[in-house]
Chains A and B, each alone.
Chain A
Amino acid sequence: MSDEQSFTLDGRRIPFQNGQTVMQAALEAGVYIPHLCFNPEFTPHGSCRVCLVKVNNRMQAACTTPAADGQTVQSETEELREIRRGILQMLFVEGNHVCPACEKSGACQLQAVAYYTGMLAPHFKHFYPRRPVDASHPEAVIDFNRCILCELCVRASRDVDGKNIFAVEGRGIQAHLVVNTPSGQLGATGFSLHDKAAQVCPTGSILTKHRGYDIPIGQRLYDRKPINVVGDVAQLPDRQGGRRHD
């Protein structure tokens, strides 16, 4: 198989098939590149920018860059770790991420990726936006304070559930997630916990009700091992990831 196509990622040879992105090929080869808006089940989005890598010395998002034969990709360099930390810090100050008061804490992808990059503090000036919490639905709650605009729920609801419940409106720093009903309330939609959209949020923005802090601290998904070992919460079976109410 010497004519198999491949690129190198931090010196390691990564084979790929035509049409794959750097991210897809790397994950398939078992090499982790941090990411938030990317989910292997959906078309790449490229908005969070956490998966930034250097492809032939140019900064690119690994999730949207097509793999090409002979490419040299750098990922785990101090330069990239610092930029990724910076981007994560931006996400933390843009919203209101009060981890001690969030049920997703410990099994939160945003948190886990931040741990992975060694982020100790949010560093920047906090925006403290005023955003609502929507508890109108009997089984689920949306805390807009924690939304990072990855649009995974938008994509899942539109492309998988066929319900088109979520959308992003507004421009620039005013961009925000909305629920597609005249009242803007989740309770007025056909949203269900069995929807794909209920299972893809990388933060604690969309949560299952009546569940609380059901896994003790120390035993939660990312308490002991980092996300590059454990995997994305949305990709894991129910009990470990704790993504669905059973």
Chain B
Amino acid sequence: MIEPRLKIATCSLAGCFGCHMSLLDLDERLFDLAERVELDRSPLTDIKELGECDVGLIEGGVCNAENVHVLMEFRARCKILVAIGACALNGGVPAMRNQYDLKECLEESYVRGMGLVNAQIPSDPEIPLLLNKVHPIHEVVKIDYSLPGCPPSADTIWTFINELLSGQAIVLSYRQIHYD
């Protein structure tokens, strides 16, 4: 039985790449995975343009304009979109800045910071503009599956991908569900 390999893309928005590290923690199972899936755009490949994909895995919340563009592109090109990790699900640690006005955050970093010369809030168009708050990704696009954890364990990711690939209902065991 020869099936076309499923195309998977991944990205990290306002996250720490910890969820991607967890993906790499699949260790030798990565060989098994590589036989069944093909990676499209991902920090693990050098593909710049997102192609039509079966599954998109999103790490991180939405904190700036670029995140919004990337997330929307993933939604448009991926049949199934999966929110992976605490930040994608509820904003996580980056969303702790929602306790402050954006002005306070930027001034703390760029104006009042130690050792700054000619301190100013950067306004270079190359730098993605920040949203006034960090949001979980489901507040911007529709999500098909959520995998909690900071990060979700490699086991959790493995169970999820396996069951998804085999067309089963996703059933995570008690120990595979945690929020931290």
A and B touch in the complex (CB under 8 A): yes
A interface, CB within 8 angstroms of B: 92-93, 96-102, 105-106, 111, 114-115, 118, 120-123, 125-126, 128, 130, 217, 223-226
List chain A residues, Cβ under 8 A from B138: 121, 123
The answer to whether A122 and B177 touch (CB under 8 A), given A98-B96, A99-B150, A128-B98, is: no
A121, chain B: closest CB distance, angstroms: 4
B83, chain A: closest CB distance, angstroms: 7
Count of interface residues, chain B, beta-carbon cutoff 8 Å: 28
Contact of B179 among A105, A118, A123, A125 (CB under 8 A): A105
List chain A residues, Cβ under 8 A from B96: 96, 98, 101
Q: Give the CA-CA distance A223 to B173 in the complex, in Å.
A: 12
Does residue B178 face the partner (Cβ distance < 8 Å to A)? yes
Q: Which secondary structure dominates chain A's binding surface?
A: loop
A126–B99 contact, CB under 8 A? no
Q: Give the CA-CA distance A106 to B177 in the complex, in Å.
A: 11
Interface residues of B in 31-48 (CB under 8 A from A): none
A130–B99 contact, CB under 8 A? yes
A78, chain B: closest CB distance, angstroms: 13
A101–B93 contact, CB under 8 A? yes
The winner among B89, B92, B146, B174 for most chain A CB atoms within 10 A is B174
List chain B residues, Cβ under 8 A from A128: 91, 95, 98-99, 133
Interface residues of B in 123-156 (CB under 8 A from A): 133, 135-136, 138-139, 143, 146-148, 150
B86–A115 contact, CB under 8 A? no
B85 closest partner in A (C-beta): A100
B133 closest partner in A (C-beta): A128
B interface, CB within 8 angstroms of A: 83, 86, 89-93, 95-96, 98-99, 133, 135-136, 138-139, 143, 146-148, 150, 172, 174-175, 177-180
The answer to whether A224 and B175 touch (CB under 8 A), given A121-B138, A126-B90, is: yes
A217–B180 contact, CB under 8 A? yes
List chain B residues, Cβ under 8 A from A114: 179
A-B contact pairs, 13 of them (CB 8 A): A96-B95, A100-B86, A118-B177, A120-B147, A121-B89, A121-B90, A121-B136, A121-B138, A121-B143, A121-B146, A122-B89, A126-B90, A130-B98
List chain A residues, Cβ under 8 A from B98: 96, 128, 130
Q: Give the CA-CA distance A98 to B180 in the complex, in Å.
A: 8
A183, chain B: closest CB distance, angstroms: 21
Q: Give the CA-CA distance A102 to B146 in the complex, in Å.
A: 21
B172 closest partner in A (C-beta): A120
Q: Give the CA-CA distance A226 to B143 in the complex, in Å.
A: 27
B37, chain A: closest CB distance, angstroms: 22
List chain B residues, Cβ under 8 A from A122: 89-90, 136
| New A-B contacts (9) at CB < 8 Å, excluding given A96-B95, A98-B93, A100-B92 | A96-B98, A97-B179, A105-B179, A115-B177, A120-B148, A121-B89, A123-B138, A126-B91, A223-B175
Q: Give the CA-CA distance A24 to B148 in the complex, in Å.
A: 32
List chain B residues, Cβ under 8 A from A98: 86, 90, 92-93, 95-96
List chain A residues, Cβ under 8 A from B180: 99-100, 102, 105-106, 217
B150–A100 contact, CB under 8 A? yes
List chain B residues, Cβ under 8 A from A130: 98-99
Q: Give the CA-CA distance A153 to B178 in the complex, in Å.
A: 26
List chain B residues, Cβ under 8 A from A92: 90
The answer to whether A97 and B174 touch (CB under 8 A), given A105-B180, A120-B146, A121-B148, is: no
Q: Give the CA-CA distance A123 to B133 in the complex, in Å.
A: 18
The winner among A120, A121, A125, A217 for most chain B CB atoms within 10 A is A121
A105 closest partner in B (C-beta): B180
Q: Give the CA-CA distance A152 to B78 in the complex, in Å.
A: 46
Q: Give the CA-CA distance A122 to B86 in the complex, in Å.
A: 10
B143 closest partner in A (C-beta): A121
A226–B174 contact, CB under 8 A? yes
B161, chain A: closest CB distance, angstroms: 16
